[in-house]
Amino acid sequence: MLQGRLWMEARDAGIPPGWDYNPAKWSQRLPIVGLATLGFVIASYLALWQYGVVERVWEPFFGNGTRRVLSSRLSFVLPISDAALGALGYLADAVAGLIGGVDRWRSMPWIVILFAILVGPLGVISIGLVIAQPVMYDSWCTLCLASAGVSVAMMAPAMDEALASLQHLKRVREQPGRSAWRAFWGLQQRPAAEGRVAA
């Protein structure tokens, strides 16, 4: 009786099997969306300076370091500046974090995986750009470091939700007559036991 009640509570809360919390609940996702919004503001400000819209760039610690980093060849290796690309990435992260309900790890795996793909590489690129600052230009950029910190802080929670979705798709694939591809797009109903947590 108790086990049945726990199963119903876990299913209603959208907790993945074997987990003790729901990685897609709003209290897990909204902090990521907030960080992405902060990252968007920082990157947009840096991009505005790179394109000459803003005359001054804030730098409290490293003198002319921010100007040197933001005007480097590495910052303009693509058709748009690195800060503008970062702003677009953060905006995509925020939008992807808001799509879907608290059970999206099983009802919309495609958006969860896309969210992880958006967050993960952005964090890795940010780390690479931070390493490049002292190595290539003997300079540091305070807001670039803050942006990198935001990217790294977003990674672990986004990967948790992606793991829950991948586990869900694996369970679907192992069930006869069910398609993991259809489940990936949210086109297939989950079985009755899908919300159960391990006893």
Residue boundaries of the structural domains of the chain: 23-184
Per-residue confidence (pLDDT) for residue 11, from 0 to 100: 54
The structure tokens listed for 102 are 């608290």
Looking at 74-83, 100-109, 129-138, which range is the least confident one?
Answer: 129-138
pLDDT band at 71 (very low <50, low <70, confident <90, very high): very high
Whether the predicted pLDDT of 198 surpasses 80: no
Q: What is the pTM of this model?
A: 0.84
pLDDT band at 137 (very low <50, low <70, confident <90, very high): confident
φ/ψ of 66, rounded to 5, equals -60, -45
CATH number at 23-184? 1.20.1440.130
Q: Euclidean distance between the first and final Cα of the chain, in Å? A: 13
pLDDT, average across residues 100-128: 91
Residue in 58, 53, 85, 83 with CA at minimum distance from that of residue 71: 83
Whether the predicted pLDDT of 7 surpasses 50: no
